[in-house]
Amino acid sequence: MILNRRHLLQSAAAAFLMPRVASAGFAPLNARVAKYPIAPASYPETVVWTYDGSVPGVELRVRQGDRIQRTLINQLPQATSVHWHGIRIENAMDGVPGLTQDAVEAGASFDYSFVVPDAGTYWYHAHNQSIEQVARGLYGPLIVEETVAPDVDQDLVLMLDDWRLDPETAQITDNFDNGHDLSHAGRIGNILTVNGSFDPAFAVRRNERLRLRLVNASNARIFDLDLDGLSGWIVALDGMPLDTPLRLSGSFPLAPAQRADLIVDVVTEGETASLVSVERDGSFGLARFEVGGNAAGAHRQGVSALPPNPLPEIGNFQRARAHQMVLQGGAMRWLESGRLGGTELSGRELAQLGKFWALNGYAERPEDPFLDAAVGSLHRIEFVNETAFPHAMHLHGHHFRLIMDDGSLGPWRDTVLVGRGQTRQIALIADNPGNWLLHCHMLGHAASGMMSWFRVS
């Protein structure tokens, strides 16, 4: 039989349309291109990359101690992987190409199976070419419910993002390797969204109590958040409950990848309450809470701490092994030199190769780990930010505790914001075996040098 062009087209189409299915016992997680109304209604829909067709991707909501089983089915035009951010996960499931798995090629699939040990607010996102893939929309919420949930009327997940769209077409500007962004604050956008929508509205009643799970999914923007007409507490950071809830007064920062769980009461006398982003030139509404009547009864007084997660005891961290990680480079503090591919290159040479930053002198993930830890050992890491920009340093597979300026132990986190010129210390029990990334979560910084790793064995 002679194959003509028509046959070829048909068989290519057949191959393309062949249904890919999830493995037995696994639900599918389809990474695919879709259109989504990111910009206000007067604009066209934006072509985005999604998990299961929406931005954010499908909400994964499970109980503490459950096993998640998902087959990532890659229908994107690019290799990808999924990282389950903040989950103290088994190393092989951490989703880091080149360290814990191979990238999943276009058309291929990968089975993720893991237990979630801690309750709280987490998220998942692409971890291959993250600077592009997360910016295109590849992220979603991963919510782990407490066995005994706090008493609230509504539990709302609010995923914040910052998009850079062409102002005419509302399509994603695809200059991800723009040297100016990489060497400065990163890819800062021109439209802010909550759950993939510009200025969305949520229906509430006066005196209702809400749990707001805030997630910053943006590439580089550090939000400074405030509430209007809502009053309450921060009860958890990066998924982990605070020992004592922190009464909200004034704005609070949320760096890329960080989460904050709030419990707030609707106290406004007006028609709307809101979540606002505090900017240099005023406040900007991110989401509205439209008040439709009063809830029965007055709002409750006080709040209790969320039940603690089974985290290791830090104990006396003065005895911990001490390490220093120096954050170097970027605009205004240009690297003099740095190591790349086993050789020392000048800052100018590095810049030509798209590398602008370094961690302890390495402008890429080094061959040897920054830290080689025995399982269960205690470490103190001092992040020294010599650059002119803030950085959100994230450790995989572990949470750590901040060491406060007065030497006391602060909250548990998985991502710490280190301000320009600042030094911040953390205490870490390296109790999860495997190879783990340590990087800046400003994704352009990670792509252009701020990437390291540690080993626990």
User: Cα–chain-centroid distance for residue 65?
Assistant: 22
Query: At its nearest, how many Å lie between Cu ion and the CB of residue 3?
Result: 53
Question: Which of 47-55, 58-66, 184-192, 433-441 is the region at the interface with ligand C2O (rule: CB under 6 A)?
Answer: 433-441
CB 204 within 8 A of CB 152: no
Give the residue closest to ligand C2O by C-beta: 85
CB 415 within 8 A of CB 358: no
Q: What is the 3-state secondary structure (H, E, C) of 173-212?
A: CCCCCCHHHHHCCCCCCCEEEECCECCCEEEEEECCEEEE
Site string (345-384) toward Cu ion, x via CB under 5 A: ----------------------------------------
Query: Which of 142, 257 has the CB closer to Cu ion?
Result: 257
Report how far residue 215's alpha carbon sits from residue 122's, in angstroms, rounded to the nearest whole number.
Answer: 8
Alpha-helix residue ranges (DSSP H) falling in 270-417: 347-352
Site string (344-383) toward ligand C2O, x via CB under 6 A: ----------------------------------------
Of the candidates 248, 417, 427, 437, which one interacts with ligand C2O according to CB under 6 A?
437
Structure tokens at 206: 């006066």
**151 three-state secondary structure:** coil
CB 185 within 8 A of CB 213: no
Does the footprint of ligand C2O cover residue 83 (CB under 6 A)? yes
Question: Which of 104-112, 182-190, 281-289, 435-443 is the region at the interface with ligand C2O (rule: CB under 6 A)?
Answer: 435-443
Query: Which of 93, 210 has the CB closer to ligand C2O?
Result: 93
Backbone angles phi, psi at 229, to 5 degrees: 85, 5
Query: Which of 124, 356 has the CB closer to ligand C2O?
Result: 124
Residue type for 205, please?
Answer: R
Interaction residues for ligand C2O, span 113-132 (CB under 6 A): 125, 127
| 3-state class percentages of the chain: helix first, strand second, coil last, to nearest 5 | 10, 45, 45
Site string (421-450) toward Cu ion, x via CB under 5 A: -------------------x-x--x-----
Query: Which of 68, 393 has the CB closer to Cu ion?
Result: 393
Which residue do the tokens 């990066």 mark?
A: 238
Of the candidates 39, 58, 85, 363, which one interacts with ligand C2O according to CB under 6 A?
85
Question: Total number of residues binding Cu ion (CB under 5 A)?
Answer: 4
- Site of interaction with Cu ion (CB under 5 A): 391, 440, 442, 445
